[in-house]
Amino acid sequence: MKKRAALPYIVWMLVFTIVPMIMVVYFAFTTKEGAFTLENLIQVKEYAGTFWESIELGAVSTLICLLFGYPMAAIMARSKAHVQRTLVLLCMMPMWMNFLLRTYAWMTILENNGLFNSFLQLIGLPKLQMINTSGAIVLGMVYNFLPFMIIPIYTVMVKLDTRLVEAAQDLGCNWLGVFRRVILPLSVPGIISGITMVFVPAASTFIISKLLGGGTMLIGDIIELQITGGANNLNLGAAMSLVLMIIVLITMMVMNVFGDRESEVALV
């Protein structure tokens, strides 16, 4: 009886989630006229370099987010309750501002005549070329997605049973041992979801590279070019989306397998 309440949802998800996914597959395997073809997928191979660059930049950003986000999450989890609340809020607040505006702000700072270079000149250092480099893209990704790394790790760490840490200390572990054998393994689930939450949007972004990377095109940009941009090749765009989807799926499966194994180890 109650089950029927889910009917509008089922219909909606079918029409606007499942069918569009089928559309992606259909468009990827057909020509403009609707005949079956593998041409689109073969053509995607020409963009292998772009795909690789996106994955690379996404991975580098994810790693930097992890390196800087983990200590932050740990500090937050160990603070007093009311401080924790404020810190979480402070971490989330930049995310509530449109990401285009945030990225645009970095443009202002990194430009050749921007704030940072003015500052360098002021203290007598030579100007640096920062905007339109892949470093700027990575910075933009790290800035935009860092909270997605901090929050999941924090959520796991705050639930961590402090008695386990005390037990490890009582049993003779030093500071590093406690971290390596207790805290790190127990925070793996947070790390895993942090990595996926940063890597997926970072590797598939299509604006950050445009604004901060000058002419650099990443997967997102070339897909956009096919769908709404000048190229207007929906079929190729669909094929690229399909490949991107598969890459993300594989990444998540790998992360899940890794996560399961790690948490088993942690339980043993």
Partner 1 sequence: MKLLSRIYTVLMFVFLYAPIVVLIVFSFNESKSRSMFTGFTLKWYAELFRDDVILNALANTAIVAVISALLATVIGTAAAVGIHAMNNKLKNVMMTINNIPMVNPEIVTGVSLSLLFVFGIQLLQKLGVDASLNMVTLVIAHVTFNIPYVLLSVYPKLRQMNPHSYEAALDLGCTPLQAVYKVILPEIMPGVITGCIMAFTLSLDDFVISYFTSGPTSQTLPLVIYAMTKKRISPKINALSALLFATVLILLLIVNIRQMRDSSKNEPKKERSFAS
The interface with partner 1 within residues 200-229 (CB under 8 A) comprises 200-201, 203-204, 206-207, 211, 220, 223-224, 227-228
Contact 29, 37 (CB under 8 A): yes
Q: Taking the complex as a whole, how short is the minimal distance between the CB of residue 106 and partner 1, in angstroms?
A: 6
> CB-hemisphere CA count at 13 Å for 205?
32
CB-count exposure of residue 81 (10 Å: 0-12, 13-18, 19+): exposed
In this structure, what is the dihedral angle of CA atoms 70, 75, 78, 81, given to the nearest 10 degrees?
-110
> Contact between 80 and partner 1 (CB under 8 A)?
no
Site string for partner 1, 156-195 (x = CB under 8 A): ----------------------------------------
Q: Whose Cβ is closer to partner 1: residue 13's or residue 231's?
A: 13
Here the tokens at position 107 are 């443009």
Shortest Cβ 233–partner 1 spacing (Å): 12
Distance CA 2, CA 140 (A): 47
C-beta of 126 vs 268, nearer to partner 1? 126
Interacting positions 41-70 with partner 1 (CB under 8 A): 68
Angstrom distances, CA of residue 198 to CA of 37, 142, 186, 213, 226: 34, 8, 20, 19, 25
Within the chain, residue ranges assigned H as helices are 7-13, 19-28, 39-44, 48-78, 81-92, 99-110, 115-122, 134-158, 162-170, 175-178, 184-186, 188-203, 208-212, 219-227, 234-267
In the complex, what is the shortest distance from the CB of residue 195 to partner 1, in angstroms, rounded to a whole number?
13
Among 2, 45, 80, 163, binds partner 1 (CB under 8 A): 2
Q: Does 23 bind partner 1 (CB under 8 A)?
A: yes
> Phi and psi for 36 in degrees, rounded to 5?
-65, 140
Q: CB of 268: closest distance to partner 1 in angstroms? A: 27
Residue 30 in contact with partner 1, rule: CB under 8 A: no
Instruction: Compute the least distance from the CB of residue 238 to partner 1, in Å.
Output: 6
Name the residue nearer to partner 1 (CB basis): 77 or 191.
77
CB of 248 to partner 1, least distance (A): 6
Among 33, 35, 46, 89, binds partner 1 (CB under 8 A): 89
CB 24 within 8 A of CB 44: no
Q: How far is the CB of 141 from partner 1 (least distance, A)?
A: 14
Does position 9 interact with partner 1 (CB under 8 A)? The reply is: yes
